[in-house]
Amino acid sequence: MTRQKDNSKPQIQEIGGRVDLSLVNMDATKMASLVRTKQITCLALLEAHFDRVDALNPSLNAIIWQDRDGARERAAILDTEVAQGVFRGPLHGVPITVKEAFDFAGSPSTWGNPELAQNYPAQNSDVVQRYLDAGANLFGKTNVPLNLADWQSFNAIYGTTNNPWDMSRGPGGSSGGSAAALATGMSALEAGSDIGSSIRNPAHYCGVFGLKPTLGVVSEQGHSLPGWHTDIDIAVTGPMARSARDLMLAFELLAGPDRYSKDTWSLHCPTDLREDISDFKIALKLSDAACPVDQAYQDRLADFAEKLSKAGATVREIEPELDTSDYFNTYLTLLGAAMGFGISADAVAVERAEMEAKTTGVIRDIMTTRLNGRDMRHSDWMVADNKRRLARQLFDNFFQDWDILLTPVCASAAFPHNHSGQRYERALTINGAQQPEMQQLFWSGYSGVVGLPSAVGPMDFVGSLPVGYQAIAGHGKDRTALAFASCVENQICSFTAPPI
């Protein structure tokens, strides 16, 4: 049963005087250092986060479940261990939340779906367990869209999450609650999942960091519907953070096999110790005809590329020689197949008929391709998979010469709330024209369908809204993407807290 929020506060043993709420905007690495050096107790740190949640969450609605009593009990145990000189790991005592879809024993994993409102798993997901083993104190879960299938985070169970930079806009999805909680200091570290930019676009919209790892590097077990144990094609789980160094730390904690591959699995992601931007060779792809990008955002990316060049990096506009329109269709087909688990052919037929009655042009083409993947024969799936592997070869060859391929995360900064109709009926205004909101999936699939790692970090602002870069690296080169993000953080731009 869900524990209700408890606003009562126990007597806190504070070290160094009254807790300053500004500490919640520190990164998790710094918080863990304060705990380890006994400058603050685990319990005091937790209470500071509860104060922040009480102040901001009523308007943001990012954290949708909490177990304060359990978290306080864990904090007391963690403090006893500190006094004994015992530390569970690098996150000892750090208060965190995770995306609602990750199983955490005793908490709901509904995916925002009322049909799963009573789904309370008894076992932790692999991601949750790895954070707990590192000493993190998980006290809450963050909001998602229905079935994790939107770039806005709203559902009939928990309601709507707002963007902390502009309450009239969404924080992204499906890890939107995660990004909003991080940006505002309500949580020190997060975990998200990504099949269509569900880590990347919330990080971009809210001005935080996110990593879509190489496919298969972080376990998906426990991030699934009840009774489902098969990994979903293209989908990954990965860390979200307020700093690149936290992102690097979290990746090292989370990377590892699931129960089905632990006897044969080992990690072979090359180490990357570069600490200066001048050591990187960076390719640029700032636009594509398959998905128009807001000119103001493109300009910020171009300015960012200029800063990279001035810092000594080799920067050039070049990209893999792909037919990007055909490549986008390959992604949409395989995405449709991946998200078609448990859906009958009759249900797909109904969805297709409704879609065709409501759409024309580009969005009909996008949706038709996705729906064709929903109920395709396995032999047809293998044809699409072979096309993906041919594309992967092109990327592998490309990354022999380049460290990072820098691209947009999506088409624009965060867009206004729009919950009307089906997702495919919604549009964005890009450069003065109406474009299908789902057309942005092009930038999701560009690295996603071939399983490449992509780091997103804060870069600049369009008006008052943050925008980020997408740094794609070669297959298995997650640490290269992370090293790049760290260099950018240290030399060009880092996290800025929203004025809230």
Give the count of alpha carbons within 13 A of 368, CB side only: 10
Place of tokens 């869900």: 2
CB burial string 275-289: b at 16+ within 10 A, e below = eebebbebbbbbebe
State the DSSP H helix or E strand holding residue 407, giving kind and residue range, or none if neither. strand 404-407
Active-site residue (options: 125, 198, 224, 447): 198
Residue 82: strand, helix, or coil: helix
Residues facing residue 466 across a β-bridge: 461
Strand pairing class (159-160; 154-155)? antiparallel
Burial of 384 (0-12, 13-18, 19+ CB in 10 A): buried
- What is the spatial distance between Cα 55 and Cα 52, in angstroms, rounded to a whole number? 5
174 is catalytic: yes
φ, ψ for residue 323 (rounded to 5)?
Answer: -80, 95
- What is the spatial distance between Cα 217 and Cα 269, in angstroms, rounded to a whole number? 9
Give the count of alpha carbons within 13 A of 160, CB side only: 13
Look up residue 281 and give its DSSP letter.
E
CB 161 within 8 A of CB 178: no
CA distances from 341 to 195, 348, 373 (A): 14, 11, 11
Residue 8: strand, helix, or coil: coil
Active-site residue (options: 107, 125, 153, 174): 174
Give the count of alpha carbons within 13 A of 212, CB side only: 37
Burial of 148 (0-12, 13-18, 19+ CB in 10 A): buried
- What is the spatial distance between Cα 285 and Cα 447, in angstroms, rounded to a whole number? 12
Q: How would you list the strands of the sheet with 95-99, edge to edge?
A: 63-66, 137-142, 95-99
38 is catalytic: no
Which residues are part of the catalytic machinery?
A: 99, 174, 198
